[in-house]
Chains A and B, each alone.
Chain A
Amino acid sequence: MTQPITQPMTTGQSAPVRTVGPDHVARRLPGPLTALRWEVRKLRAQYRARAVLLVAVLAPVAIVVVIHGQSRPPKDTLFGRFAIDNGFALSLLVLGFASQWVLPLLTAIVAGDVFASEDQHGTWKTVLTRSTSRSRLFWAKTITAGAFATLVLVLLAVSTIASSWMIVGHQPLIGLSGQTIPAGTALQLVAASWAMMLPPMLAFTCLAILLSVWSRNPAVGIAAPVVLAMVMQLVGALGGVEAIRPFLVTTSFEAWHGLLTEPRFSGPLIEGLLVSGGWCVASLATAFVLLRRRDITGG
């Protein structure tokens, strides 16, 4: 069935290579997960992705150490007043800061690059002339970016909570309504607050994917979501925009406030889930259509 087809390119010693005769028809088909495996493998080989993970682990520790060493607390930020000597408050202070632009940036570093880097390296034509369809590649890249965002958030949360617990302590937390929250409950609420960052973070992931597919430029894919996050925050802070405020992704970044009041309220959480979901679906649908339709002319 297999036959030697040729020798090395230059004349000389022969090294038989198997190739098929003209009657060969059967072809292995890639499974649904092979494209995903390939994307993950590429990501792991990238210095940039590893650097983001490293930052997600180390930066919180550094921030916790620095703030803990301050003599005066950053009073005008949420939970700032207690941050110097309460580990839970410090975790929430870091959370509030991260949600401004750090989370959109960390996810965009991969999501904003995962499509556009194929343009940058001219490799669309390389991968699209194999046996994997554009849709499969699209989903493989999207899932990779989403999984990476989730991993970054988990690392960031665990590192922040663990380091503030160990360095600052785990005294009962004073909630937003002035109530005292016992340490056990506080830990759960802080962890839940971090988990509530996931939907808006994934929304920014999808936005970065869209911008990356549309611009075909990694720099735009990475920077634009961060700029968008800042603009949304600015718009959200303006007066007279009550009608659109709930539809901004950044509003969902504040949904955790409801967990730390007495009584708790979950309205913003559900709203946030819906809004983030909406942004995800709209961004991905547009990106999918753009990628399916586009002519691959570069490279």
Chain B
Amino acid sequence: MNDILAVDAQGVTKTYGSLRAVDDISVRVAAGEVYGVLGPNGAGKTTFLRMLFGLIRPDAGTIRVFGKTWEDSGVRVLDGVAGFIESPRFYPYLTGRQNLEGLALLDGGTPTGLLEEVLDVVEMSERADQKVGGYSYGMRQRLGVAASLLREPRLLVLDEPANGLDPAGIRDMRALVKRLAGRGLTVLLSSHDMEEVEEICDNVTIMTRGTVAFHGTIAQLRTMAPDPGHVLATTDDVRALKLAENRFAITVARDPGAALIVTGPPTEVSSYVGSLVSADIGLLALTPTRTPLEALFFMLTDDPTHQSLDRPAQLQDTLR
């Protein structure tokens, strides 16, 4: 039974008018893994997850969840699946607890005590008897997690769960996902934040404009990442540029913002900076630009017309 994939989506397509929101994508999530669907705004992440939940119907392709499809199992395809799409929504005129009780009814009931336990996990026990209409965004998000755990899921589907949370909320949310995953829960989560996916996911699909730009493990992704870049500010940028001319392992370019951008392996960058100091050029700042994975993410998901200029040739080959 562990051979059954938690999610097996094949050739899934959804169009809105002339827009291909999701264009022939395939995603396979094995049971027990934490899978990230990463992409910028409008990439089609939410559309894909909505199809998984049966909220919208794909125009083409099939989605199997633990081996079942909507066509043959109806709503039973969601047995063992829980989560939320975009920000979780509840009935504002009911309390948090009443909302959960109602959702439990629609699930066919929950074991006694579970409701209190999930409220405890998301630390909402004290506010549970207030109307949801008075909740903050973060509290609704927490209630959404509680509502999902109430289903005792095997697969948890979260659409940008950290969206709109403060830094502490984001940290807690990630910690919770990691703990749940540690207990064998399969997690499928979407995000636009490479750092988040890098931190908690095993595998990732990077989407852009409805299509898949990358499929694989985080480790694979790391090997493709470009060298880290640094913003360099000196007392004499002209000489600093000149000193870089015969160092082939690094590139130094003038940024539109007038600073210098140095890219290359860390040892080479450090040796170059050393040479600046020896040449009596004052060093004002050396700060990392994006993390390498972030930089890769932008390369993978940027508009193709702009991409070819700064995308290394070997990377383009890997992407084919």
Contact of A17 among B107, B108, B149, B186 (CB under 8 A): B149
Alpha-carbon gap, A296 to B89, bound state (A): 13
A31 → B minimal CB distance (Å): 7
Contacts known (A128-B55, A129-B55, A129-B84); A45 close to B93, Cβ less than 8 A: yes
Residue from A3, A28, A130 having most chain B Cβ neighbours under 10 A: A130
Q: Report yes or no: A131 in contact with B106, Cβ–Cβ below 8 A.
A: yes
Contact of A126 among B2, B105, B147 (CB under 8 A): B147
Q: Report yes or no: A299 in contact with B93, Cβ–Cβ below 8 A.
A: no
Q: Report yes or no: B117 in contact with A18, Cβ–Cβ below 8 A.
A: yes
Using a CB-CB cutoff of 8 Å, which residues 68-127 of chain A contact chain B?
121-127
A178 touches B (CB below 8 Å): no
Contacts of B152 in A (CB 8 A): 18-20, 24
Q: Report yes or no: B106 in contact with A30, Cβ–Cβ below 8 A.
A: yes
Q: Report yes or no: A17 in contact with B93, Cβ–Cβ below 8 A.
A: no
Contacts known (A5-B179, A8-B123, A24-B152); A30 close to B89, Cβ less than 8 A: no
Using a CB-CB cutoff of 8 Å, which residues 73-124 of chain B contact chain A?
74-76, 78-86, 88-94, 98, 102-103, 105-109, 111, 113-114, 117-118, 120-123
A29 touches B (CB below 8 Å): yes
Using a CB-CB cutoff of 8 Å, which residues 121-137 of chain B contact chain A?
121-123
Contact of B98 among A3, A45, A297 (CB under 8 A): A45
Q: Report yes or no: A16 in contact with B91, Cβ–Cβ below 8 A.
A: no
Alpha-carbon gap, A130 to B93, bound state (A): 20
A7 touches B (CB below 8 Å): yes
Q: Report yes or no: B123 in contact with A10, Cβ–Cβ below 8 A.
A: yes
Interface size class of B (residues with CB under 8 A): 35 or more
Contacts of B88 in A (CB 8 A): 126
A166 touches B (CB below 8 Å): no
B164 touches A (CB below 8 Å): no
Number of A-B contacts (CB under 8 A): 172
Q: Report yes or no: A37 in contact with B105, Cβ–Cβ below 8 A.
A: yes
Residue from B83, B106, B147 having most chain A Cβ neighbours under 10 A: B106
B50 touches A (CB below 8 Å): yes
Contacts of B297 in A (CB 8 A): none
Contacts of A7 in B (CB 8 A): 121, 179
Interface size class of A (residues with CB under 8 A): 35 or more
Using a CB-CB cutoff of 8 Å, which residues 144-195 of chain B contact chain A?
145, 147, 149, 151-154, 168, 172-173, 175-176, 179-180, 183-186
Alpha-carbon gap, A134 to B54, bound state (A): 10
Nearest-CB residue, chain B, relative to A20: B152
Residue interface bits A1-34, CB-to-B below 8 A is 1, else 0: 0110111111100011111111111011111001
Q: Report yes or no: A9 in contact with B103, Cβ–Cβ below 8 A.
A: no
Alpha-carbon gap, A125 to B89, bound state (A): 8
B230 touches A (CB below 8 Å): no
Contacts known (A27-B80, A125-B84, A296-B56); A131 close to B183, Cβ less than 8 A: no
4 new A-B pairs (CB below 8 Å) besides A19-B185, A27-B80, A27-B108? A30-B106, A45-B93, A122-B89, A129-B78
18 contacts between A and B (CB under 8 A): A6-B180, A7-B121, A9-B172, A9-B176, A15-B120, A19-B180, A21-B184, A22-B31, A22-B186, A41-B105, A45-B94, A45-B98, A46-B93, A125-B89, A131-B75, A295-B56, A296-B56, A297-B50
